[in-house]
């Protein structure tokens, strides 16, 4: 099943799907006012930090939420197991990918991300919020692979662990958010931003497969991804899915890794 959907395809039959608006910007204003000012008709707003992540702490800045919190949020947003879901954000794609990953990991079988986000939408917008229609979704985790810190460390040695952050953060030259700069030893630099073109849309399946192949990823290799806090890495997992390559997500990512001062840190351009 395709992991992404074009604006043209969504515009042709939006009523057949549950649509979630997950606009979010790290350190920026809440996305709800933007949602209420204009969103795809019928879309429900989902708050990334409150509903797609738990409180920050030892397990990172965006750890997994409690399952009952996630289930309640998805039901309130109208998500049901037998109804396809489309998620979108403002255009960067990271927040939408986190929602896609959470729903797929929790057992929903038909979730797609709007390629290019709201910026690609050419249809009408509506304001306010639609009437609530309760869904029947219940989170049943385990449908997608998940890495712990120890699992990520092991995969960096035995398979392929991709670091989705900017290359300068990987090299340890800058670290604007977390307390320690560098990367997990053995991880390979693979910035998420290289998965999309200037319009924010994903490169073709063939182009993505070529990119990941050059990094050492293919269907025969066990692949994992991390970033700063498990958001942009979800976008990388999505890009890998588009390319036909399954990958595990290390949700805690660098923010969890560096919370434990005993974990090793590498710097420089090589793994």
Q: Which residues are catalytic?
A: 227
Residues 6+ apart with CB under 8 A from 107: 81, 138, 139, 140, 141, 142, 143
Question: Residue 146: phi, psi to the nearest 5?
Answer: -130, 135
Instruction: Please give the Cα distance from 101 to 107 (Å, whole number).
Output: 10
Tokens of 165: 């952050």
Name beta bridge partners: 45: 21
The HSE-up count of residue 181 (CA atoms within 13 Å, CB side) is 13
With beta carbons less than 8 A apart as the criterion, state whether 188 and 156 touch.
no
């Amino acid at each position: 099943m395709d992991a992404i959907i074009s604006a043209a395809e969504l515009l042709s039959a939006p009523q057949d799907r549950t649509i979630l608006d997950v606009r979010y910007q790290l350190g920026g204003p809440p996305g709800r006012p933007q949602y209420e000012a204009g969103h795809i008709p019928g879309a429900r707003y989902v708050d990334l930090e409150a509903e797609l992540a738990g409180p920050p702490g030892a397990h990172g800045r965006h750890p997994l939420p409690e399952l009952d919190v996630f289930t309640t949020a998805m039901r309130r947003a109208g998500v049901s197991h037998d109804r396809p879901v489309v998620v979108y954000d403002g255009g960067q794609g990271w927040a939408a990918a986190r929602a896609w990953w959470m729903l797929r990991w929790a057992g929903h079988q038909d979730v797609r991300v709007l390629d290019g986000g709201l910026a690609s939408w050419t249809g009408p917008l509506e304001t306010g919020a639609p009437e609530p229609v309760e869904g029947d979704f219940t989170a049943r985790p385990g449908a997608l692979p998940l890495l712990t810190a120890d699992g990520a460390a092991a995969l960096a040695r035995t398979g392929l662990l991709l670091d989705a952050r900017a290359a300068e953060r990987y090299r340890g030259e800058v670290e604007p958010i977390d307390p320690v700069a560098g990367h997990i030893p053995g991880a390979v630099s693979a910035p998420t931003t290289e998965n999309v073109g200037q319009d924010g849309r994903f490169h073709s399946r063939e182009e993505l497969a070529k990119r990941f192949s050059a990094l050492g990823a293919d269907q025969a290799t066990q692949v994992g991804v991390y970033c700063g806090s498990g958001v942009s890495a979800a976008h990388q997992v999505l890009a890998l899915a588009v390319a036909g390559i399954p990958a595990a997500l290390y949700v805690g990512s660098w923010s969890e890794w560096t919370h434990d001062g005993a974990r090793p840190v590498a710097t420089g351009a090589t793994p």
